[in-house]
Every structure is written in structure tokens, then in C-alpha cells.
Structure 1
Amino acid sequence: MKQASIFILSLFLLVGFGCTPAETTISFNEFGVDPDSQENASTAAAKLIEHLQARKDTSLVTVIFPKGRYDFYEEGSFVREYYISNHDQDNPKKVGFALENLQNIVIDGQGSDLIFHGRMIPFALLNNSNVTLKNMHIDYEVPALRQLKITKVNKEADEVVAEIYPPGNYRIQDNKLVVEGESYEFTPFTSMAFRADKRLTYLRADVAFDPASASEKSPNTLSIKGWQQVNHTSPGERYVLRTYHRPTPGIFVSECLNTGFKDVTVHYAEGMGLLVQMSENITLDGFNVCLRGDDDERFFTTQADATHFSACKGIIISKNGLYEGMADDAINVHGTYLRVTKRIDDHTLQARYMHPQAWGFKWGEPGDQVQFVESEKMELVDQHLNTLQSIKAVDKPTEFGAKEFEITFADALPQQISEMGKYGIENLTWTPEVLFSNNTVRNNRARGTLFSTPKRVVCENNIFDHTHGTAILLCGDCNGWYETGPCKDVLIKNNQFINGLTAYYQFTNAAISIYPEIPNLEDQEQFFHSGIVIEDNTFEMFDQPILYAKSTNGLIFRNNTIKYNSEFEPFHWNKHPFFFEKVDNITISNNHFEKEMDWSKAVRTELSEPNSVVMENNTAE
């Protein structure tokens, strides 16, 4: 990471994480709710924010919570219309703390538990500068996810018996299990399978929950018949029941400058733990999405990613965190491609958000630098950057809630760009540098980390422990997820990878998977990713695939140690430690493999020129 950039960012952290002489302190209980009182603290939150917004000066204010438990209910909470990247855009949202248009604020929970009821966003930060949250635990009284603990398997009767957790808040209707929240209900149809040690079960990804019938044997004990898992499960295994609905993140940040999180833990959210969009400079230090310790009866945390950053700029620093039990990745950093839907003239296009969970929020501003990509081959239409001159919504009065835009550019557009082909627009101004360091990612579904930014990425000193899929993914897709874009400067250094990739998920071809989605790879002439260094890492492997890369020019894999064990049976279709498609300038050097290697089969290369991969000075026992 560029040291100058980190130094500049650290200046604002002194405001949020430290103490200055100008600081004013306010206690949350001044607004009418004491800790452990079981009173509705939503009314106190509303009074607090009214007080903060009425301030006449901009000096630092710290809000402290006398340590204890605070309960927040939908009644008396803020009601907002928010459009949140990579979430379901169902509105309105109920919000515990709507921190809007504020500056120089620290919210210090002093170790308190903030417990939310119903379907709420605990914290929403919009249009703020220099706001920090610290020292708090965020959780829900009744999480939407439910967990079945298998207690008995009766194959002859095609039955499993299971205890439901948390107890209560369910009913059986028409032989179906219906989950009851405090303000909603749903019928789960999929699940995550966990072993008794809280690791996801080998070779079971996204297990359907579609039994023929469910009935109640006694309170919180269910008889489940006609479920395919009767032939696979055993007592002690847990199944976390869910849908794919993402209504509410734990923390939502939009269009903010210099936002900090210090020792903040999210134990559950029905979406991302933290979703940040269109914001500049974000620091997470000791931000956790995790269980309440080893004795926690829950095996799950968030319904989706632990942290997710969409169309941000400046620097994202994420360090010293614990991420476990999520239904998706620990971190995902990307922008969003707009799809060209109409060419109006040589300077003007109509373009649209395409993914059903990514629309309605600001995409760009006049002066932003953009580039154009042909979607089928995922290559630039030309190398010239253009400048966004104006942008206005087509389907809404303003950009708020819009899906489609009319965009005018400073320079003439390439002639081929029109609705007759498949073209995307990438906003390069809203792309960040990333430092992801000293974190632990473990026992989660799908993947560990996703990075899609052309700016500097450093992923170092982390532990990836039994991620169910790929530990690190470098992606990019203008066809399905519409998440930009090519990586050009990535350092993956001094990480420990422990027996990941124990099930199949999208883009999971190896422990580290460099996998842009390219429908027409064969005809692609320009490489997508470049400038990647993977060094000084330790891989503990039960299977073969270490590194997969597609459409990559310039990749170094050096000074890594690869150890082998027999915790699981090898299963992956990829039988090669190194598998490359459409690559050039790949060097694999000075690595040590702690078993004999068949070097003739260690590397598989397709759609590449001869000598595109160089192997040198690698050793094996």
C-alpha cells in the first residue's frame, strides 16, 4: 500500500479513534433510555439524532452508551426509502440510527449490545464526513435464519428429527415450516450444512430444503420427512435454513467521506454485515462479523457478505477482523457496469443498471473518468478514457431510485458502441485502493475475498481457514453480476490458506481463482487482469488446485510453501495445481511443495502462446 495514502487516511482516524481537546461528550441515556431497561431505545435514537443535526458548530462530538443492553424496535424508528447496492430494493426501510448530513461524530458503545427487533437497518450513514462507530455489538432478538440440529436419523421411515434454534417463532402450516419474524414471515427453501465443529460440511453447498412434510413432535422439535438429507446427514449436524432475500444490511453507508469502524461486531444481519457505496476513505479496525464465542449455539452470522464495497474511492482499509459463519464472502470490492441500451448521438448514450439487486443509487458525477467494455469478450473498446459531462435519470425525476440514465460524454464515442451490441460503461473515478490485512476468514459459504479494482490491492497476513469455496477471487463480469472490473496491481502476501475449497461454487476453480466472466474467451485479444504477485504464502491443501487464472497478463507466484494433508478426500474436477486459460507472462518460481510433484502435469495451459508460463527453481520433497 502506498505509504503516503495511508498517512493521509490516518489523519482522519485521529479524530474518530483518538481524543482531541475540542471534544464534547454526550451520553445516550440523556435521551430517556437507560441500559438494560428493556425500553424501546428507538425513541431515544431519534431524539439523539435530532440533537446532533441541530448543532451549530462542527467540533467533535462523542456519543457514549453506558455499557449494557439496548433494545430497538420498529415502532418509533426512522422510516426511509433507501436504494442499497447488492440488496433487495424493497422499501420503505426501518432504521435504528439514521445518521444523515453530519460531521465529526463518534458513536462509542463502550462494549454495549445493541439488539434490534423486526426487520431493521441498525445504522445508516448518509452524506456524512468524519463519522466513526466504535466499541459495540450489533445483533437481532429474532434472526431470520433458523438452524436445525439433527438429533435422530431414521432412514427406514425416511425421517430426520431436529431441534430448531433459536427456539420458537415458527409454525407448521400445510406440512411446511414457516419462519416467523417479529414483523415478517417466510418459508425457507435452501440451507447451509455445518458439521458439529461449525465448519461447513464437505461437498454440500446450498442444500435444498424441500421436505415432503414437516410436523411438530414437541415444542421446538420437528419431524421432517421426505428430505433428501436423510441419506447424507447424521446426529449433530446443523442446517441453517434460509432464502436468498437481502432486505437489510447491518450497517449502510452511502456518499460519505472518512468513515471509521473500531471494534464493532455484527453478530447477525439479513443482508450484508456492512454495505458501503459511493463513499471515500473507509477504515475497519477490529470490525467483526462473528459468533458470540465458541459456545454460541448459532452457527450462522449474515445472510450475505460480511463487508461489501460498491463504487467507492480513496482507500479501503480492513484489518484485524474476524469473519465467520457468513452466507457469502468476507469482503467484496467492485464497481457496477451500466449496460448501453441506446445510442442517442455521438456524445450521448442511454445506459441501465442490469442486476435486480443493484439499482437506484448514484452511479457517477460530471467529471468522472469512464471506459467502455465489450461484454462478450470483456475487452476495452478503445484505450482512450472519456469524461462524463452530464448524467440524468430517464425513468425517474432524479437519480434516486432510477435504473436508466442518459449520459453525455466530453469526447466523441467510438462508432461501434450502440444497443446493437453488448457494451458496458465502467466508472474509473469511483475505484478504491484496498488494504486487507491481519484478518481471519473461516467457516463461511462461497468465497473468502473478492477484489475488482484497478487501483492497488494488498491482501496480506490473513488466515483463510476452511472457506467453503475459493479463498481469494479476482473477478469482473459485465454479463450477470455486472461487477467491474480488471485488477492491475495486486499483492497477495504472507497469508495462510487452510483446507478451503471443500465444495463447488461459482468461480471457484482453485484456492486462488482469477476468474473474470468472459463468454467469448477464445476471440478475446486483450487480457483482462494484470500485475498480480502472490508470494510468501502458506497453503495447506487436501486437494490439487492451488491457482487458476484466466485472461491474465503478468502474474508471479513465488516463494510460497505448499503443504498437504488428508482431512478430506480430493474431489475437485481441476486436477492441476496450476491451471491457466488465455494468459501470458506467468512465472512460478522458488516455491516449495512438501510432496513429490509430477511436473509434467503440474501446469495446464489453454488458449495461450507457448512459453507463456515459466517454471523455475521450484522444489519438492
Structure 2
Amino acid sequence: MHVLKNIFSGLIFLLFLLAGCKTANVVYLKDFGAMPDSRQNTAVAAAKLVQFLQSHKDAGPLTVHVPKGVYHFYETDALVREYYISNHDQDNPKKVGIELKQLKNITIDGNGSTFIFHGRMIPLAILHSRNITIKNISFDFELPALRQLNVLEANKNTGEVIAEIYPKANYQIKNNKLVVLGEGYEFEPSVAMAFNENKRLTYIRRDVGFSPRTVEEVRPDVLKISGWKEAAFTSPGERYVLRTYYRPTPGIFVSESKDITLHNVKVHYAEGMGMLAQMSENITLDSFAVALKGKDDPRYFTTQADATHFSACKGKIISRNGLYEGMADDAINVHGTYLRVVKIVNGHTLHARYMHPQAWGFKWGEAGDNVQFIESAKMELVGDNYTNKIKIIKPLDKPDDFGAREFEIVFEKPLPAQVSADGTYGLENLAWTPEVYFTNNIIRNNRARGALFSTPKKVVCSDNIFDHTHGTAILLCGDCNGWFETGACKDVEISNNTFINALTANYQFTNAVISIYPEIPDLKNQRKYFHSGIVIKDNKFDMFDRPVLYAKSTNGLRFENNTIVYNKEFAPFHWNKHLFFFEKVRNVVISNNKFQKILKPAEDVRIELSDSATIKIGNNQ
């Protein structure tokens, strides 16, 4: 009997193990009516799928299997939602292709499928969800808002350009002006990005204006553009990507979610950012791409703004093995948002407001969050190691924080005596600041800048290739005056990267290949340093110009074991003629670097508003 009992117990245990090894439940997109490689509206099937996921959200992990193919999504039958998306235009409502809301433990495997969208839509939104994985999917739009001119002829004497427009058709000439026709919208382009035939942005041609005297149609899809000053600078074969600065919709929107993974996901176009995450925790991008569709893609552009953007996130942001190219802004930007103090109610209570027109309407903080105060003109923290915790936060202009601009915040401790409502003080939420690991990525042929980091937590930017970023490759910023993007970096490692001819044009904050540039209107009277703890080591700089490193208001900066070599691809042009330019810095070390041209500190190092005794230069070759 005892033996039989043991055998029976063993069988029960084995069945338990087998049950535990059972694969996660799988559902199939085709079962909800989706038809691959047809032009039917997959938005209808996607809505049914999400409804099913909502009704089974407590059933355990689910994997959605998408048979490989091409799927189209149209505005007709798409979801209509009110979203407030950081660093985008806050126009509502917005159309959404797939909305994953209040879900958990979901994997969507596209198996190499392409989702093509029509009109102005957000392809994918992930809201108030946890443990969501999206993999093996490409997102694109059949008719992007951006248009491309392929220059066929350019007459520098008459100021005329003959160019073919791409994508073909979908335009009109009204009152001698070019009007772009989208699916359900139209606009007049006002600015352009200039590209060479090799898909790199044109040397020193940043943000080319597009306001010609007349545009005429020579024949279908071929235009004669007269009275355009760019005729004097262009040549046959160049491309001009026509655009505005409007950014209504990201490709992927993540908000108030946790443990989100995008694996082998590609965004080929979005009229805003490729991926925007806000107030979320732990986001992993593995082999994520904002990229062209291969070397034969006729497009030269991808997104209207940043490839990836993280606003007020926490936990860990990991971006590895990615490709970012052709976008009209940065590859990655990580920051929080300063609120400005607009009223002191009492010793514990104040009113504070979102200031930038593209950053408001989403949650800023919650009870228990740790906050610090900053004086905006000098970008100095208030008090010595002073922080305060939120006791109560409530919106003043909305029933809740959804869509709010202004908040009343009650703090646990008394407010600092010096904080006033005269418009010169900001609040930074330290609870919503992440660690960042940006590794083994390729960033190339994009406008503006490469990687931007503004967080006091650990940042590792390593083993990346920055190949012909049009502006600065890496920017450490911070601004409580214009963009209102927090905050001070305190632990940054920039290592084992390769920088190839960065800074072929000038943009905001682009003073060198690596630019440490907080926006400080009153730098002269600043007494406390903004950034600290920055190590730049073991990198290779392949350069045509001079400025390698610019740093402002930084205490603790090491530039070690780097190699600087030169090429003649372009003529030097930058206003900054120094390898190193320092303003208001201390505890700087430049050592054990290899310079193809011998470092001459008297010529190559410029120091302003700093004690030169705290800048140590030695053992360089």
C-alpha cells in the first residue's frame, strides 16, 4: 500500500510538472477576420482581438499569432481617442489602429508581417498595461505626409529647379503653391531636409526653407520650382524632403505602463516620433529600428521627429542592437518635464504649470514622489540637498490629470523660503527618472542630434556607431526656460563608441561632437554646477573638423583613452575652432588620449568662467 501511494503521488507530481510546462495560450489574428495580403481594413479585426483580450485578461499569458503578410489599417472603423502625448501637438481626437489598454502578460508576434496604415493614425497604443511584448512587426504608412523632391535640373542663373516628386501624384498646385494631399488632409510644406544621393544630409545645409515664388507642373509628377534660393546650391540627384514642424502622432505610444518590450520591431514612417513613452517603467527596445526599408528604398526619410523618446519614465530604459536613420530629429531623447511655479498658496502648498505647448495633459506626479526645486535663470538647485515629498497633487483646470496643465501640490515639508511665483522657479520630479542603457546601436544620416540624456540616474552609452549625424552626436542637456526638459546628469559613461563625421551642420546646443549643454541664461552668476560624474573613454572620433567636446556647468568630467583621427571628407566650418571648449567647469581630466594631430593645450583648449587649475591635461599622445 505504501508503495502504491508513492507511485500515485509521483504520477500526480508528474502531471503537475507537465501542466506547468504547457505553452502559453495562443490566439490567432486570422480568427478575428484579418486577411493577410489583402487590402481589407484590419482595424476591424484588431478591435475584435482587443475585445477578446480584455475579456480574458485574467486567464494567464496569451500570445497573439499573426500569420506573416501585409495588413492594411484605415481610419474608417479605427478607434477614436483623446490622448495627451508628450512632445507632440496636442490636437484631439486621434485615430488609433491598435489600442492595448489595461492588459497584462500579452505577446503579439507578427512573424515578419508589415502593418500599413492610412491617413493620420497612431498605429499602436499601449496604455495602463503591464508585461507586454511586441515582436517581429514592421509599421509603415502607404502615403507618408513627407514628400521628396528628386532634383533633375538646377539652373543657378535663373533660380529654377526641375524636380520629380515622390511619392507620385497626391499633390495640387494652388495659386502657384505646392499643396501636399494626404489621405484625409492637406498642407503646404514650409521647410525641407537636403540629402545627397548617398542618403546623407547635405553638408552645412540645415532646415532649408521652402517658399519658392512659383511652382508649376511641367508634366505629371515633375515640377518647375522658380524663385527658390536653394537653386544656387543644389545639383541634379540631390533630394529635398519637404515637411513642416507639425507632429500629430507617434508610431508607437506607451503611457503609464510597465515592463514593455519591443523586439525586432521596425517603424518605417511616423508623422511624429517613432516611439514615445511617458510615465512608464522598464522599457526594452531590442533590435528596434526606425529605418528605411533597405538600401533600395526610394525614400530618404523615416520619422517627422525623434526615433525614440522617453518622457518622465523610470526603472530601466534599454535600447540595444537598434538602427536609427533618416529621421528628422534625434535617435533617443530621455528627460522629465519641469513645472513652473506660478503661485504660492501657503507654506506647504503651491500651484505649478506645464509650460511647453507640446508637453502637457499627462500625469506629472503622485503622492510620495520626491521633488526638488530649481532656479531657472541660473539652473541652480534650491537648498543644499533639499528635496520634498508630494503629499497631495490635484489638477486645477481638469477633473483629473488627464488633459491638465496646472496643478495644486501640497508638500510634506515646508517650502523653501526663496521659492516664489515670479516665474523663475521650476519643479523636478525625481521619482520618474530612469537608468538608461543605450548600446550596440547604429545612428546615421539623421537631422539634429544623435542621443540626448537628461536623468540623474546611471546612463551607459556604449559600443554605438554615430555615422554622419547632422548635428551633435551626444547631448547632455537640461532646460527650465524653453523646452522645460529636466534634468542634471550625475553618472554617465560614454565608452567604446565610434563617431564618424558628426556635426556636418549647426543646430541648437550643437557646440561639439559631444556637447554638454544645459540651457543657462545667467551662467556668469551661477554658483552651483549642473552636470557631474561624466566619463568619456575608449571612443574613436573620426573627424573632419575641430570641436570634439564642449562642456558647460559641469563638475567632474573625464576624457580618457580616446582616439582622435582626421579625414578630408568635408572642409572644416564650425564656429568652435577648439578641440575642447569649457565654460564654468571644474575637476576636468584629459589624459591618455591619442591625437593624430598633437594636442596643443594653448590652442586646442578654451576655458571660460573656470578655474584653469582644476583642468588637468596630461599623458596624451
Task: Give the TM-score normalised by the residue count of structure 2.
Answer: 0.96
Which residue number corresponds to residue 264 of structure 1?
265
User: What are the superposed Cα offsets for residues 446-472 of structure 1, whole Å, 9 maximum, x if unpaired?
Assistant: 000000000000000000000000000
Rounded to whole Å, the distance in 2 between the matches of 1:553 and 1:384 is: 19
Deviation at 1:122, TM superposition (A): 0.2
Deviation at 1:24, TM superposition (A): 0.8
Deviation at 1:58, TM superposition (A): 3.9
Deviation at 1:384, TM superposition (A): 1.2
User: What are the superposed Cα offsets for residues 301-345 of structure 1, whole Å, 9 maximum, x if unpaired?
Assistant: 000000000000000000000000000000000000000000000
Deviation at 1:510, TM superposition (A): 0.2
Rounded to whole Å, the distance in 1 between the matches of 2:170 and 2:113 is: 26
Rounded to whole Å, the distance in 1 between the matches of 2:97 and 2:449 is: 30
- Contact 1:255–1:278 under 8 Å retained in 2: yes
Report the secondary structure of 1:611's partner residue. Answer: helix
Which residue number corresponds to residue 127 of structure 1?
128
Rounded to whole Å, the distance in 1 between the matches of 2:157 and 2:372 is: 61
1:38 aligns with 2:36: no
Deviation at 1:183, TM superposition (A): 1.2
Alignment of 1:379-390 (within 5 A): 379-382=380-383, 383-390=385-392
User: 2:51 corresponds to which letter in structure 1?
Assistant: E
Rounded to whole Å, the distance in 2 between the matches of 1:532 and 1:56 is: 44
Task: Give the TM-score normalised by the residue count of structure 1.
Answer: 0.96
1:246 aligns with 2:255: no
Which residue number corresponds to residue 110 of structure 2?
109
Which residue number corresponds to residue 198 of structure 2?
197
Rounded to whole Å, the distance in 2 between the matches of 1:20 and 1:152 is: 66
CA RMSD in angstroms comes to 0.9
- Contact 2:599–2:620 under 8 Å retained in 1: no
Extract structure 1 runs of 4+ deviating beyond 4 A: none
Rounded to whole Å, the distance in 2 between the matches of 1:159 and 1:129 is: 55
Rounded to whole Å, the distance in 2 between the matches of 1:58 and 1:491 is: 43
Match 1:603 to one of 569, 584, 605: 605
Alignment of 1:458-497 (within 5 A): 458-497=460-499
User: What are the superposed Cα offsets for residues 427-484 of structure 1, whole Å, 9 maximum, x if unpaired?
Assistant: 0000000000000000000000000000000000000000000000000000000000
Rounded to whole Å, the distance in 1 between the matches of 2:222 and 2:311 is: 42
Alignment of 1:220-619 (within 5 A): 220-382=221-383, 383-619=385-621
Rounded to whole Å, the distance in 2 between the matches of 1:57 and 1:346 is: 46
Deviation at 1:599, TM superposition (A): 2.9
Deviation at 1:410, TM superposition (A): 0.4
- Contact 2:471–2:507 under 8 Å retained in 1: yes
- Identity of aligned pairs, percent? 65
Report the secondary structure of 2:218's partner residue. Answer: strand
- Contact 1:22–1:59 under 8 Å retained in 2: no
User: What are the superposed Cα offsets for residues 36-87 of structure 1, whole Å, 9 maximum, x if unpaired?
Assistant: 0111101001000000001152411111111010000001111100000000
Which residue number corresponds to residue 11 of structure 2?
none
Which residue number corresponds to residue 12 of structure 1?
none
User: 2:408 corresponds to which letter in structure 1?
Assistant: E
Rounded to whole Å, the distance in 2 between the matches of 1:362 and 1:387 is: 16
Which residue number corresponds to residue 214 of structure 2?
213
User: 1:279 corresponds to which letter in structure 2?
Assistant: S
Deviation at 1:157, TM superposition (A): 2.9
Rounded to whole Å, the distance in 1 between the matches of 2:22 and 2:265 is: 25
User: 1:426 corresponds to which letter in structure 2?
Assistant: E
Deviation at 1:265, TM superposition (A): 0.2
Report the secondary structure of 1:354's partner residue. Answer: coil
Which residue number corresponds to residue 182 of structure 1?
183
After TM superposition, the structure 1 stretch with the greater mean CA deviation from structure 2, 59-68 or 258-267, is: 59-68
Rounded to whole Å, the distance in 1 between the matches of 2:600 and 2:386 is: 45
Rounded to whole Å, the distance in 1 between the matches of 2:173 and 2:325 is: 31
Deviation at 1:421, TM superposition (A): 4.6
Rounded to whole Å, the distance in 2 between the matches of 1:292 and 1:367 is: 46
Report the secondary structure of 2:49's partner residue. Answer: helix
User: 2:570 corresponds to which letter in structure 1?
Assistant: F
Rounded to whole Å, the distance in 2 between the matches of 1:319 and 1:502 is: 26
- Contact 1:58–1:103 under 8 Å retained in 2: no
Deviation at 1:420, TM superposition (A): 2.3
Which residue number corresponds to residue 83 of structure 1?
84
Report the secondary structure of 1:50's partner residue. Answer: helix
- Contact 2:57–2:103 under 8 Å retained in 1: no
- Contact 1:95–1:120 under 8 Å retained in 2: yes
Rounded to whole Å, the distance in 2 between the matches of 1:80 and 1:425 is: 30
Which residue number corresponds to residue 9 of structure 2?
none
- Contact 1:22–1:60 under 8 Å retained in 2: no
Report the secondary structure of 1:506's partner residue. Answer: coil
Report the secondary structure of 1:49's partner residue. Answer: helix
Which residue number corresponds to residue 149 of structure 1?
150
After TM superposition, the structure 1 stretch with the greater mean CA deviation from structure 2, 376-385 or 547-556, is: 376-385
- Would the alpha carbon gap of residues 58 and 486 (structure 1) be closer, same or farther in structure 2, given more than 3 Å must change? farther
- Would the alpha carbon gap of residues 610 and 154 (structure 1) be closer, same or farther in structure 2, given more than 3 Å must change? closer
Rounded to whole Å, the distance in 2 between the matches of 1:33 and 1:105 is: 19
After TM superposition, the structure 1 stretch with the greater mean CA deviation from structure 2, 392-401 or 527-536, is: 392-401
Rounded to whole Å, the distance in 2 between the matches of 1:491 and 1:156 is: 51
- Contact 1:86–1:357 under 8 Å retained in 2: yes
Which residue number corresponds to residue 96 of structure 2?
95
- Would the alpha carbon gap of residues 20 and 566 (structure 1) be closer, same or farther in structure 2, given more than 3 Å must change? farther
User: 1:103 corresponds to which letter in structure 2?
Assistant: K
- Contact 2:249–2:271 under 8 Å retained in 1: yes
User: What are the superposed Cα offsets for residues 384-417 of structure 1, whole Å, 9 maximum, x if unpaired?
Assistant: 1100111111111111101001111000001121
Q: Which runs of 5+ in 2 are unaligned?
A: 1-19
Rounded to whole Å, the distance in 2 between the matches of 1:187 and 1:396 is: 35
User: 1:567 corresponds to which letter in structure 2?
Assistant: E
Rounded to whole Å, the distance in 1 between the matches of 2:34 and 2:497 is: 45
Q: Which runs of 5+ in 1 are unaligned?
A: 1-18
Report the secondary structure of 2:230's partner residue. Answer: helix
Report the secondary structure of 1:424's partner residue. Answer: strand
Rounded to whole Å, the distance in 1 between the matches of 2:470 and 2:422 is: 40
- Contact 2:342–2:423 under 8 Å retained in 1: no
**Larger Rg: 1 or 2?**
2
Rounded to whole Å, the distance in 1 between the matches of 2:371 and 2:57 is: 39
